[in-house]
């Protein structure tokens, strides 16, 4: 069997495992909100109309932050439409997704949902059709304790205490010509700076995310970040990055190697931010909020919004069904995000429910897990302490997009308090099992506590509402420790977690 040698050392610390790496995203898009998290007629719905079975799975997924309310949606959104008595809220055209927004869920409902889910809310302001004043009004509504126009309105609506939202996105994908109120880098850089400056006057404690490019494939990628950060550097904390991957024309090998692109993307944005830092003689460093990432088959019919006179409420949109290979890629993208924990300080799996999502619902009916649920949940649960860089010497896998890449990619986390070590690894070979051989000399006395592998002889295997269990990771009986080395067999197209602890 082919072998990949992995060296781990407690001294190779990249940085802390950041809880915010395990964020997600709820957008008013398709059935993410309506019939997703919110379904008042459902047997498990609570007094706010939120599904209890969905909340249970959100907690099981281990999500830490949730970005809201968009996405493209936010660029035409009037947040005031979503507050106050539900019967008085307007219905509006949502131009981003050619849908009707009933405004039954707004900021107060979302904050209540986030508290129930145990997640940190991450809000986005509309810098497409709106500007500084409306962003300030929303911030006042959310974070000012009382005694002003909007804070008193919040109290009237039942929230005595401020929500104290820390993370705020300054618009969404403003470089994209599809964005309502799309701007040039100069226009956006100015607006984001002035919005940030004014928001900090209201609440100096906010953390602000300025929009980077909507993908590394944008013609303006790099230059957009340079221009926007040159303007906004001192006023913001993070720059956003968005990336979606999919298997194109049956090219499984390139698809499995998607993390090579994510690595390059993160390193390019960090390099651009550091160049602006040097040129502007700034002291602080800008970190990355990778606040949209996932597998998304954008060319499938499910991704096309309705058209013409049809403006449905909560249409079926972007409801991708994920297979085993998709889950392996999601697991490998998490490895990339963890590997860059020194620069990626927050990330959001896009999205959470029904829309390119780990959790699926039937309106009024069952809830079920997609394949991608598992690598996310297991990584969020078992990555603790510090991220360790691992040196991997692996056989190569040829790819059309990236040339030869190591068939095995891995990262480790180490909890210095308990001594626990977690290894996360993918085998990107499309054909061969690879033996993992881990040098554990720096960690004497460890034993395998649990080893789980997600794979299937048929990598196109997907979960359904009738059977979402058979794609779940299974115990990997080959994982053992002997003579200071951990070994395990990784099947082709697989993702694994190996947990080690002191004997």
292 is annotated as an active-site residue? yes
Q: Which of 101, 173, 225, 247 is catalytic?
A: 173
In angstroms, the CA 288 to CA 269 distance is 8
Q: Which is nearer to ligand AHR, 214 or 397 (CB)?
A: 214
Choosing from 27, 225, 247, 409, the residue that interacts with ligand AHR (CB under 6 A) is: 27
Considering only residues 196 through 215, tell me which ones interact with ligand AHR, judged by CB under 6 A: 214
For residue 22, what is the enclosing H or E element? none
**Closest residue to ligand AHR using C-beta atoms:** 71
Q: Which is nearer to ligand AHR, 258 or 341 (CB)?
A: 258
Choosing from 21, 35, 65, 72, the residue that interacts with ligand AHR (CB under 6 A) is: 72
Looking at the DSSP assignment, which residues form a beta bridge with residue 453?
474, 496
In angstroms, the CA 320 to CA 318 distance is 6
* Residue 358 contacts ligand AHR per CB under 6 A: no
Q: Which is nearer to ligand AHR, 25 or 255 (CB)?
A: 25
Looking only at the bridges linking them, the beta strands covering 480-482 and 344-349 are unpaired
Contact 440, 422 (CB under 8 A): no
Q: Which tokens sit at 493? A: 């197209």
* x/- map, 247-286, ligand AHR, by CB under 6 A: ----------------------------------------
Report the nearest approach of ligand AHR to the CB of residue 172 (Å).
5
Range 394-399, long-range pairs (CB < 8 A, 24+ positions): 394/4, 394/5, 394/434, 395/2, 395/3, 395/4, 395/429, 395/432, 395/434, 397/253, 397/256, 397/257, 397/428, 397/429, 397/430, 398/253, 399/251, 399/253, 399/254, 399/256, 399/257
Q: Which is nearer to ligand AHR, 137 or 320 (CB)?
A: 320
* Residue 139 contacts ligand AHR per CB under 6 A: no
CA neighbor of 281 nearest in space, from 345, 351, 337, 230: 230
Taking CB under 6 A as the binding criterion, the range among 68-76, 121-129, 191-199, 279-287 that sits at the site for ligand AHR is 68-76
- The count of C-alpha atoms lying within 13 angstroms of the C-alpha of 354, restricted to the half-sphere facing its C-beta, is 24
* Residue 71 contacts ligand AHR per CB under 6 A: yes
Report the nearest approach of ligand AHR to the CB of residue 344 (Å).
18
- The count of C-alpha atoms lying within 13 angstroms of the C-alpha of 248, restricted to the half-sphere facing its C-beta, is 10
Q: Return the residue matching tokens 């459902």.
A: 42
Q: Which is nearer to ligand AHR, 49 or 82 (CB)?
A: 82
Q: Which tokens sit at 427? A: 């085998």
* x/- map, 312-351, ligand AHR, by CB under 6 A: --------------------------------------xx
Q: Which is nearer to ligand AHR, 239 or 479 (CB)?
A: 239
In angstroms, the CA 101 to CA 105 distance is 9
In angstroms, the CA 256 to CA 431 distance is 12
Taking CB under 6 A as the binding criterion, the range among 65-73, 135-143, 271-279, 338-346 that sits at the site for ligand AHR is 65-73
Report the nearest approach of ligand AHR to the CB of residue 191 (Å).
18
Report the nearest approach of ligand AHR to the CB of residue 292 (Å).
5
Q: Which is nearer to ligand AHR, 29 or 135 (CB)?
A: 29
* Residue 172 contacts ligand AHR per CB under 6 A: yes
Angle made by CA atoms 17, 119, 316, in degrees to the nearest 5? 110
**Edge-to-edge strands of the sheet including 386-388?**
13-16, 386-388, 408-414, 421-427, 494-502, 446-454, 474-475
Q: Which of 231, 247, 292, 386 is catalytic?
A: 292
Q: Which tokens sit at 475? A: 């115990």
In angstroms, the CA 497 to CA 422 distance is 7
263 Cβ partners below 8 Å, 6+ apart? 336, 339, 340
Q: Which is nearer to ligand AHR, 36 or 473 (CB)?
A: 36
Choosing from 101, 137, 140, 173, the residue that interacts with ligand AHR (CB under 6 A) is: 173
* Residue 70 contacts ligand AHR per CB under 6 A: yes
In angstroms, the CA 307 to CA 320 distance is 20
In angstroms, the CA 36 to CA 51 distance is 8
Q: Which is nearer to ligand AHR, 253 or 355 (CB)?
A: 355
Taking CB under 6 A as the binding criterion, the range among 67-75, 197-205, 326-334, 425-433 that sits at the site for ligand AHR is 67-75
* Residue 462 contacts ligand AHR per CB under 6 A: no
The length of the chain is: 503
Torsion angle of C-alpha atoms 356, 295, 209, 131, degrees rounded to 10: -50
Report the nearest approach of ligand AHR to the CB of residue 58 (Å).
17
319 is annotated as an active-site residue? no
**How many residues of this chain bind ligand AHR (CB under 6 A)?**
11
Q: Which is nearer to ligand AHR, 359 or 394 (CB)?
A: 359
Under DSSP, is residue 412 helix (H, G, I), strand (E, B) or coil? strand
Alpha helices in 161-251 (DSSP H): 185-202, 223-232
Report the nearest approach of ligand AHR to the CB of residue 242 (Å).
6
* x/- map, 280-309, ligand AHR, by CB under 6 A: ------------x-----------------
Report the nearest approach of ligand AHR to the CB of residue 198 (Å).
24
Residues classed as catalytic? 173, 292
Which residues in this chain contact ligand AHR in the complex, by CB under 6 A? 27, 29, 70-72, 172-173, 214, 292, 350-351
């Amino acid at each position: 069997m082919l072998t990949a040698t992995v060296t781990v050392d407690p001294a190779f610390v990249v940085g802390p495992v950041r809880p915010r790496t395990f964020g997600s995203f709820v957008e008013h898009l398709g059935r993410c909100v309506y019939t997703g998290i919110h379904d008042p007629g459902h047997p498990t719905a609570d007094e706010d109309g939120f599904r209890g079975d969905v909340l249970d799975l959100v907690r099981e997924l281990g999500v830490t932050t949730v970005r809201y309310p968009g996405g493209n949606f936010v660029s035409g959104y009037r947040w005031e439409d979503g507050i106050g008595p539900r019967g008085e809220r307007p219905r509006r055209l949502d131009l981003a997704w050619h849908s009707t927004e009933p405004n039954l869920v707004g900021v107060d409902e979302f904050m209540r949902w986030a508290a129930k889910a145990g997640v940190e809310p991450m809000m986005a302001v509309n810098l497409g059709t709106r500007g500084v004043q409306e962003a300030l009004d929303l911030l006042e509504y959310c974070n000012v304790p009382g005694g002003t126009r909007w804070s008193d309105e919040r109290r009237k609506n039942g929230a005595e205490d401020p929500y104290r939202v820390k993370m705020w996105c300054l618009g969404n994908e403003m470089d994209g010509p599809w964005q309502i109120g799309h701007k040039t880098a100069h226009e956006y850089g100015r607006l984001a700076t002035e919005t940030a400056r004014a928001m900090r006057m209201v609440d100096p404690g906010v953390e602000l995310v300025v929009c980077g490019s909507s993908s590394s494939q944008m013609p303006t990628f790099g230059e957009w970040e340079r221009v926007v950060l040159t303007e906004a550097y001192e006023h913001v904390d993070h720059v956003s990055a968005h990336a979606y991957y999919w298997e194109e024309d049956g090219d499984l090998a390139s698809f499995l190697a998607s993390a090579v692109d994510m690595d390059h993307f993160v390193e390019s944005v960090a390099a651009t931010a550091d160049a602006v830092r040097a040129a502007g003689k700034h002291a602080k460093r800008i970190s990355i909020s990778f606040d949209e990432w996932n597998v998304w088959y954008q060319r499938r019919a499910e991704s096309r919004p309705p058209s013409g006179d049809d403006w449905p409420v909560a249409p079926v949109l972007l409801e991708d069904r994920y297979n085993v290979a998709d889950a392996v890629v999601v697991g490998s993208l998490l490895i990339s995000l963890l590997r860059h924990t020194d620069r990626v300080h927050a990330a959001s799996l896009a999205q959470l429910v029904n829309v390119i999502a780990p959790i699926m619902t039937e309106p009024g009916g069952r809830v079920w897990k997609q394949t991608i649920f598992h690598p996310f949940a297991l990584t969020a649960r078992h990555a603790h302490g510090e991220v360790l860089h691992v040196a991997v010497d692996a056989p190569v896998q040829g790819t059309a997009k990236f040339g030869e890449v190591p068939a095995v990619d891995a990262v480790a986390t180490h909890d210095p308090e308990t001594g626990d070590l977690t290894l996360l690894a993918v085998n990107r070979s499309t054909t061969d099992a690879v033996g993992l051989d881990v040098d554990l000399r720096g960690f004497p006395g460890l034993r395998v506590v649990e080893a789980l592998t997600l794979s299937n002889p048929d990598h196109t295997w997907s979960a359904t509402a009738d059977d979402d269990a058979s794609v779940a990771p299974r115990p990997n009986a080959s994982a053992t420790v002997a003579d200071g080395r951990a070994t395990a067999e990784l099947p082709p197209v697989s993702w694994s977690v190996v947990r080690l602890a002191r004997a």
